Amino acid sequence: STNSIIPKPSQCQINKEVFVHDGHSVDTYWINYPPRKLQKDSDKLLLYFHGGGYVSGDIQSHSGFECHLSELFNITILHVEYRLGPEHPLPAAVDDAIAIYRALFYQKISPSQMLFMGDSAGGGLVLLTIQALLAHQLPVPRGVIALSPWTDLSTSGESYKRNREIDVLLYGDDIDWGASQLLGPNHSQLLLNSPLVSPLFGSFKGFPPMFINVGTAEILEDDARQVVKKAQEAGVDVKFEEGLHLMHVYPVFFSYYPEARNTLDNINKWIQTI
């Protein structure tokens, strides 16, 4: 849980809103620190998709980090509590993300005001959601921020071997377990290679500007690098930042590492430019 690393500030304002689609509800949380009111017709809004391997994570695990992002980026954040496996395997999470995005249209918030951000599996979910929006010929948000995104459930990246002994947060077995929880114990390799679960194998044509960040001491390093390469080849404007010798989703450690704070500052500057 990131909240054990970053406690939630007492003045952080968190308001729950439940959206209903296709007969089920999706919990979301409006986060503002310091408290402010979203000007729905003008202000940028950041939709945050938490990590946790698509099987764990929630507002409790991520609100401390999200409150600090709200302060640093001077932005309202909408935390999306998408459905998790194993009860709700992919693409349930993607369906929830699209439903929230559509609902925001009806609240008169335009795609040009929205940013998507996610860490780990949440970073993968952001990419899957953009691919689904493009497949449905829907407008995409203004920009995408992915911290150590999990993009390749087939674990084809060489960094799964190269960084296996030095990754202090993720183990290869965790990834395999997460995939089996998500897809069922008897899933085939074919499914892991499907662009419906591994955005690396999908198309990046038409993507909005992206900021992708990864540590060089994590097994998901190549999950990020390969997406950057494919996206750039598809003509996407990508800003890529690697944290030398740093771990999975290292920006959450901004209180401990100057490099982590520096990356968050760079994301903030990037948001102003897109």
How far apart are alpha carbons 35 and 170 in whole angstroms? 35
Task: Give the SS3 label for residue 117.
Answer: strand
In 120-177, where do the E strands start and end?
143-147
Burial 205-224 (b: 16+ CB within 10 A, else e): eebbbbbbbbbbbbbbbbbb
Q: Which residue type is seen at 28?
A: T
- Is residue 68 among the annotated active site residues? no
Active-site entry in 66, 81, 218, 221: 218
How far apart are alpha carbons 178 and 224 in whole angstroms? 18
How far apart are alpha carbons 251 and 213 in whole angstroms? 9
Active-site entry in 70, 120, 148, 198: 120
Comparing CA positions, the residue from 61, 46, 58 lying closest to residue 3 is 61
- Is residue 120 among the annotated active site residues? yes
User: Hey, what's the torsion of the CAs at 187, 189, 194, 198, to 10 degrees?
Assistant: 90
- Is residue 248 among the annotated active site residues? yes
Task: Give the SS3 label for residue 107.
Answer: coil
Cα distances (Å, whole numbers) of residue 28 to 16, 71, 79, 80, 196? 6, 19, 5, 5, 24
Tokens, residue 166: 């030095």
Catalytic residue numbers, as ranges: 120, 218, 248
